[in-house]
Structure 1
Amino acid sequence: MRRIIWFLLMALVLSLFVSAYAYELRAEDEGFTLISENETKALLFNEKTTEIRLVDLETGKAWDSSEMNGSQGNRTIKSLQKSAVQATFITNAQTSPVTTTAMDSYTYSVSNETFEWQLIENGVEITYTIGDNAYIIDDLPKAIRVDKYQKIIENSDWSTSQKKDFDANYRAVPQKDSEYEYMIRVKDDSLSALLIKKLYEMIFTSGVYTQEDLLEDNAAVNYVRTYSPKIHVTVRYQLDGDDLVFTVPCASISTTEGNELVSLNALPYMLTADNTQEGYIFVPDGSGALISLNNQKLSATPYLMPVYGSDALINADDYVSRRTDVALPVVAIKRTDSSMMGIIEKGYEMATISANVSGHSDEFNRVTLTFAIRNIENVALAGNESITSSRYADDIYQGDIVIRYKWLTDENANYLDFAKVYREYLLKGGQLNESEADENAPFFMEILGAVNKDKFILGIPYQSTVQATTIDQAKEIYELAREKGIDNIQMIYSGLFKGGIKNAALTDLALDSGIGSEKALNELSELLSKNGDTFYPGVYWGRVYTERDFKPLKNASRKHDGDPAMVYTFGEPVLKHSRTNHQGYYISPYYLEEYTDEALDNFEEFDLTGINLFDLGNTPIGDHKRKENLSRIHAIGVFEDALEEISDEYELMLDKPLLYAFKFADSATNLPRGDNGFAVTDYSIPFIQWVLDGSLNYSSESWNTESYMGYENQLLWALESKSAPRFTFSYEKPSIYANTEDVDYMAYYSSQYTDSLDIAAEMYQIYNDFYKQVADAEVSEHVILDGNVRRVTYDNGVTVYLNYSYADALVGDVTVPAQSYVIEKEVAP
């Protein structure tokens, strides 16, 4: 009777939450209950497995949050396939490194029936208690008072074997300062799980001995018990228009003492496709990358990259490969009949993206999002790297992790649609602004000014600079570029100020000695403005490359070991940082606001309209001061405030901007050209460029400093991605960079303007002719015909054929020469 009443009550509750659209469950929906629906989607919930199913009402297609019928993989993988989350937490904080373990919600909660759920607006909330239900040693009493032991014997029917097992592990021991004698557990380290369970049943089954007795007896012998690790995690699924929104409120996460949460893998099998599907995985690697489903790259390492790159304060002294950081917290997977995008709305600063293909661990291709709640670092003690202590910030994120899933049900939806959907999402959310296209294509011109270099007095080195291009020489190069037909010049003048390219503190702003006068600088800036061009002095704003006018112990970010975090230059051949005199310090976010105010006051001395920031839009860091921990996710707001303050005064050009900086940028430079070259990826696409097109001008790296790629190849990428040309020029001969002891300057050997200004003008004219045809147009189709031949079509009828290969290619009736392109314009009837 009670069961019938319960089902009637649940039916009543469900009727209150489900609208009048009345999706009718199908045979394939067996086990699911309709919990929410709207005009386009229905949300189903399986009360036994906690699986979610999203149904498109127009097509009838369904997408599940888990893979409940996987046929391949070991026991751990098969459990993960069915799980909503996988939690990794500390099991022993006394070891170094700390010991951690991972438990999934299916094996350690759903199977144990240790979860609760309730309906909420437009969805469901589930709370998992994740932990191993197996008995551990401390589920047994450490001591049993002898008189209680006698009562257990009297009320139990122990066999001879059971009595032998008990006597082998408990012995009567008199206790000082106690009137009672106790049976003490003596073999803690050697008890098997089977024997622990057997003893537990012997002691507690009769009901004579209780948990209250256990606590009382343990306290009598001053024993503190440990508990089997448990973690409580709440997740929410909610319909929001066409989208499914998945939320983990981090503030509600709790664990048993000493078992702090390290990371959370969210919906590990939501974005999957089995080995019968055709399509690809999209990851925001570099400019964007595709991983073909079932590509058979089983020897390749799975894709793994943190959003916004690795935390610069973690393992700060270790070499990190020169890869482009992930700028966009978005992933997607295309199956045969539809596609699903995963957009991280909150918590993406902690996220790591991983992707793999079928055949590695099971039959599924998948892309997964894992969130690092605590970044653990092993810190050397007293300078001895063989003795370490595990540390992590106390400033733990207490907000929500939110992933928005956008389902593109059209079977023809592709990666270009992903970019369009994501761009529209950013525009709607105010993270990106729209702008009008310029009449002529921009040309990004970097001028190298003062270069950091060691000089010597009596054999003793000291920090100094040499001038690669003075202000007057920069004016000469600029005027010559104008004469050669280069228009809409965006001049980046690197190394104008004290300290050179790797500048000193901006709180003591002054032109570098020998670069030229303030009057000459203002005249150059005014000249560019008069011609409709823009002048951007290039500076590091989030770091300083000197200890003059800067107090590292007070104003630099700290690492976990307490030392100020330094910005190292690494020598690639030896993978170690070079010990030059030009190392820098990261500015603490606690000091950044004051630093920005003072720097802006100093910039008012010059007649400038723009600033190029090398780092503030791409290197957010926290501060691990002992008593004032500030994790990176909480420091982002400080960087946004600084960018907003600067953008209120100047036009901003940002180097390699990450998502948080987009809305403050007027232009972007040094955007990635292609992906990072992971073996598991198959194709690179200009995804980030498509997202930014129509919002700001952008360029990739300088063509002449990356000349190993060839100008033809760089032009093809510019045409494919609609990226403006960029060149780096210096006036002096390349020998000026000799013995600079800085590998960052190696590319500057090819920067002398006399060697590449003519080719720059030629490339600009070609690109500008193309740009004028598509300036206001949007890409309507992008097709990878093979790895080296591509076709890009715009909504105004312009089609560009691109051939990256070294042989002519035939596309339909169009012959595309090797390392070249063909542009066609559709003729209106």
Structure 2
Amino acid sequence: MMRMTGTMQMGGWYRRALTVTVRMAIGLTSIALLAPQVPAALADAVLAPAPVVEQASLPDGFAMVAETSTLRLHANFTDSRLVVEDRRSGKMWASNPFEQLGPQKASQEDALFLLSATNAKRQMTNLLTWNTEKPKISAVNIPGGFRATYDIDKFKMRFTIEYVIREEKAADGRAVPFLEVTVPDKGIEEYGDCKLVTSPTCFKMVTLEILPLFGAARAGQKGYVMVPDGAGAIVEFKPEYPQYRQRYSAQIFGPDAAANLFTVGGSGGRGGNSVTRPTMPIWGLKQEDGAYAGIVTQGEFQANVNAYLAGYIMNANRGSAEFIFRRQASIPRRRSVFVNKIEEDRLPGDRQVRYVLLTGDDSNYAGMGRAFRDYLMLVKGLKPLPAEPPRPLLDLFMGITRRTSFREDFVPMTTFDQALTIIGEFINKGVKDFDVHLIGWADDGYRGRWPRRYPSESTLGGDDRLRNLVQEAKRLGVKVFFEDDYMFGYTFSSGGIIGQIPGLRNIWPNWSYGFNSRWDTVRGVNKLPVFEGSGGIYLLNPVIARDNYLERDLPTHKAMGIDGVVLRQMGNMVMSDTNDRYPLSRGEVAATWMKMADRERETLGGAMVQGANSYVLGHTDRVYDAPVTSLDAFGDATVPVYHIATQGLVVRQTIRANLRNDPKTELLRQYEWGMQPVYQLTYAPSSDLIRTDYNLLYSSQYEDWLDPAVQEYKSMRETFGFLSGQAIMNHEILQRNFNRVTYADGTRLYVNYNPDSRRTPEGAEIRGYGYALERKGR
């Protein structure tokens, strides 16, 4: 039976950084391949054999080097190209096209990788593209595949790449077959003479794009490339295409603040997601009746996702991962004079990509999302959520200091006692067992005096009233979370010039509560502190933030009785750090932050991380500020790949539901993508925030939003709460702006974004700007 729930209720950017770019078209060199071996470690020994399609014909020169229950790996003995055969469907996934793509063969059609290098000067001039140098290739068989060594003598560079096919077993028993490509760090050798900047034999690897044509679709084929921008987007193959001059290329998890000038744009820039970025180390390609999902499993913090349409260099639609081995930096030469150079040392670590091959009903963007979900569960250890509905979350904005040239004053928006009043109003309206997130509660409010937290802002009531708020809320069944910031430090809290003397700030810690901008901050690739020049805001080294400030204030948090914290911005941006005492890679920065979140959860009972970057998954109770769109102009349509991957594994929250631009469609999207709302309210009118750093909150007075918020919180719990632990099995675009979501238990949700009605395939009518929920058995 179709349950009609009615119409919507309305409530309120690396190649330019290179000196030499070497485009390697891998040449005709023999490979010594031993007999293929299938190791016992492969999971096909425990997986039931898949339905097998007879081995398809291949061009001359290919031989099988490995096999599993669902895949065969073939390699060409003369040029090291490879083909992965999907035995379930007979689909052939080639590293390079079998046939010439156009009237004239493009220089990159035979490339197994694209290599960018710089010379001894490491400057950003003399860009050179070279397509004719052939490396010497040697290969040996390894379990599940082969290892190829590429020696580029002219560039005095040697590296290895391993190509292996594997299978894993998903939670539901499905075989998950994939090609795994690894670039071992120990296999990279740069053996040129780099003692002199004029050396003609010095070359250093900058980027390496592996298998740039894997599964490439010829012009005229149907399909799309999926890019991980925001929630996800698809770029459809075009039947007619120009000679494109642009591609999609974005660094996973956003740009490295240590390699770029750190600025925060706009009012309240640290309070939310202002632009979209790749939130997942994944991309995908659908080609006619097959698809694959590429997942960067090692080296994702220094990698780009690239996507190209036919007409860009060659007539093929394609996607790939590009690993960064050296970054660019603006090096100071003298006061206000900088020169751009590539860093000297190579970023360490193995690089790895798995290409999960999809067939049948899985060969679409929904299957790509489920492939990432399988990875999160099998490799990252995520578990399904319990069946009960998630608790509603309410944000209360407490206050902020308004600073001008000659004065500052504190703007109280919700005192601690007023927060209790608002909580009581929601309870009286029937909202029970919900969570409250206090923003701007600490000393000096939202802008704060970080890393100082306590005492809490006296204008709001001080520590006594804050403690009373927490205790009374707990008595009412409401959990209280404090927003906390371990990323940023403000020179306003450093005790001025005296506070910059390392020993003194430790003599009077209760007086200073400060940090040293020379020793305690993140340093960029150019070794300079990373800061926002407009306000004396520095990025804190994560190890120092953890050891000096988190451990200092965690006992006070616990004494307050709070149920957890919301860690500001740790899932929205990530940087490397060349701090002399505690140098960290981007991955190590993220890992340190997540250890901080785990520490908070263990001590207080809960922790949320603001931002959706996938490294937060498994460390946050909720994804606070989940992606709600994709804004990159390269994409044709936004698709909820992020939410397909995470639905039923973690609660995802929108933020500031009271600031929706289009309430009808944004509420529908929330339903469709399985997200939960967060209203951000105040006791005082939002006009009080004029000329503050939080004037984005233009409509927030709780009296205006109480009824819409109550209605939405109740609706989400009563109507959609049972889907909390359910995985999304499929997402379909039935018609323009008319979509269907299918859950693991058979529940189907139809969402109509059109002003007029639409009919389901079964004939049921869905009203304009409406939705319908078809529950299994009802």
Q: Specify the alignment match of 1:649 in structure 2.
A: 603
| Residue 284 of structure 2 is aligned to residue 332 of structure 1 | yes
| Residue 83 of structure 2 is aligned to residue 53 of structure 1 | yes
TM-aligned CA distance change 1:390 to 1:28, over 3 Å: closer
2:661 to 708, 717, 724: 708
Q: Specify the alignment match of 2:312 in structure 1.
A: 360
Secondary structure of the 1:623 match is coil
Deviation at 1:317, TM superposition (A): 4.3
More helix by share: 1
For residues 760-816 of structure 1, the C-alpha deviation after alignment (integer angstroms, 9 at most, x for no partner) is: 122223333321453444333321123421122334443322122333334443333
For residues 58-81 of structure 1, the C-alpha deviation after alignment (integer angstroms, 9 at most, x for no partner) is: 433221122242323976xx3323
| Residue 257 of structure 2 is aligned to residue 312 of structure 1 | yes
Deviation at 1:624, TM superposition (A): 2.9
- Whole-Å separation in 2 of the counterparts to 1:252 and 1:320: 41
Q: Specify the alignment match of 1:81 in structure 2.
A: 109
| Residue 449 of structure 2 is aligned to residue 504 of structure 1 | yes
| Residue 518 of structure 2 is aligned to residue 553 of structure 1 | yes
4+ long deviations beyond 6 Å: 17-25
**Higher mean C-alpha deviation, range 43-52 or range 416-425:** 416-425
Q: Pairwise CA RMSD of aligned residues?
A: 2.9
Counterpart mapping for 1:337-736 below 5 A: 337-385=289-337, 387-392=338-343, 394=345, 396-410=346-360, 413-439=363-389, 441-454=390-403, 460-462=406-408, 464-506=409-451, 509-548=454-493, 549-567=514-532, 579=534, 581=535, 583-595=536-548, 596-625=550-579, 629-650=583-604, 651-676=606-631, 678-705=632-659, 707-709=660-662, 711-736=663-688
TM-aligned CA distance change 1:98 to 1:502, over 3 Å: farther
TM-aligned CA distance change 1:483 to 1:687, over 3 Å: farther
TM-aligned CA distance change 1:330 to 1:491, over 3 Å: same
Deviation at 1:352, TM superposition (A): 0.7
Q: Specify the alignment match of 1:819 in structure 2.
A: 769
Secondary structure of the 2:209 match is strand
- Whole-Å separation in 2 of the counterparts to 1:103 and 1:278: 32
TM-aligned CA distance change 1:319 to 1:780, over 3 Å: closer
**Higher mean C-alpha deviation, range 26-35 or range 368-377:** 26-35
- What amino acid maps onto 2:277 in structure 1? D
For residues 97-119 of structure 1, the C-alpha deviation after alignment (integer angstroms, 9 at most, x for no partner) is: 35554556xx4235xxx111111
- What amino acid maps onto 2:392 in structure 1? F
- What amino acid maps onto 1:735 in structure 2? S
| Residue 277 of structure 2 is aligned to residue 247 of structure 1 | no
- What amino acid maps onto 1:262 in structure 2? V
Q: Specify the alignment match of 1:189 in structure 2.
A: none
- Whole-Å separation in 2 of the counterparts to 1:757 and 1:74: 66
Secondary structure of the 1:246 match is strand
Q: Specify the alignment match of 1:14 in structure 2.
A: 35
Q: Specify the alignment match of 1:573 in structure 2.
A: none
1:771 to 700, 720, 737: 720
**8 Å CA contact retained: 1:23, 1:42:** no
- Whole-Å separation in 2 of the counterparts to 1:669 and 1:63: 38
TM-aligned CA distance change 1:73 to 1:93, over 3 Å: farther
**8 Å CA contact retained: 1:541, 1:615:** no
TM-aligned CA distance change 1:730 to 1:98, over 3 Å: same
**Higher mean C-alpha deviation, range 56-65 or range 466-475:** 56-65
- Whole-Å separation in 2 of the counterparts to 1:357 and 1:438: 44
Deviation at 1:318, TM superposition (A): 5.7
For residues 323-377 of structure 1, the C-alpha deviation after alignment (integer angstroms, 9 at most, x for no partner) is: 2232210111112121111111100001111212223332211112111111112
For residues 363-419 of structure 1, the C-alpha deviation after alignment (integer angstroms, 9 at most, x for no partner) is: 21111211111111233432334x52425374x332211111111122653222222
- What amino acid maps onto 1:410 in structure 2? G
- What amino acid maps onto 1:543 in structure 2? F
Gaps of 5+ in 1: 1-8, 132-227, 569-578
Which structure has the larger Rg? 1
- Whole-Å separation in 1 of the counterparts to 2:586 and 2:316: 33
Secondary structure of the 1:719 match is helix
**8 Å CA contact retained: 2:207, 2:325:** yes
- Whole-Å separation in 1 of the counterparts to 2:421 and 2:53: 72
**8 Å CA contact retained: 2:290, 2:363:** yes
For residues 271-303 of structure 1, the C-alpha deviation after alignment (integer angstroms, 9 at most, x for no partner) is: 422223222222211111112222657569432
Deviation at 1:92, TM superposition (A): 4.9
**8 Å CA contact retained: 1:592, 1:642:** no
TM-score, normalising length: structure 2: 0.82
Q: How many residues align?
A: 690
| Residue 756 of structure 2 is aligned to residue 803 of structure 1 | no
Q: Specify the alignment match of 1:33 in structure 2.
A: 63
Deviation at 1:646, TM superposition (A): 2.3
- Whole-Å separation in 2 of the counterparts to 1:267 and 1:424: 23
TM-aligned CA distance change 1:554 to 1:74, over 3 Å: farther
Deviation at 1:670, TM superposition (A): 0.9
- Whole-Å separation in 2 of the counterparts to 1:427 and 1:599: 33
For residues 113-154 of structure 1, the C-alpha deviation after alignment (integer angstroms, 9 at most, x for no partner) is: x111111122111111236xxxxxxxxxxxxxxxxxxxxxxx
**Higher mean C-alpha deviation, range 596-605 or range 286-295:** 596-605
- What amino acid maps onto 2:439 in structure 1? S
**8 Å CA contact retained: 1:492, 1:535:** yes
Counterpart mapping for 1:29-178 below 5 A: 29-72=59-102, 78-93=106-121, 96-97=123-124, 99=126, 101=128, 107-109=132-134, 114-130=136-152
1:232 to 143, 155, 158: 158
Q: Specify the alignment match of 1:276 in structure 2.
A: 220
Deviation at 1:231, TM superposition (A): 2.0
TM-score, normalising length: structure 1: 0.78
**8 Å CA contact retained: 1:381, 1:389:** no
**8 Å CA contact retained: 1:91, 1:101:** no
Deviation at 1:249, TM superposition (A): 0.9
**8 Å CA contact retained: 1:489, 1:533:** yes
- Whole-Å separation in 2 of the counterparts to 1:295 and 1:586: 48
Q: Specify the alignment match of 2:698 in structure 1.
A: 749
- What amino acid maps onto 1:57 in structure 2? R
TM-aligned CA distance change 1:593 to 1:765, over 3 Å: closer
TM-aligned CA distance change 1:708 to 1:637, over 3 Å: closer
| Residue 208 of structure 2 is aligned to residue 264 of structure 1 | yes
TM-aligned CA distance change 1:523 to 1:695, over 3 Å: farther
- Whole-Å separation in 2 of the counterparts to 1:393 and 1:480: 60
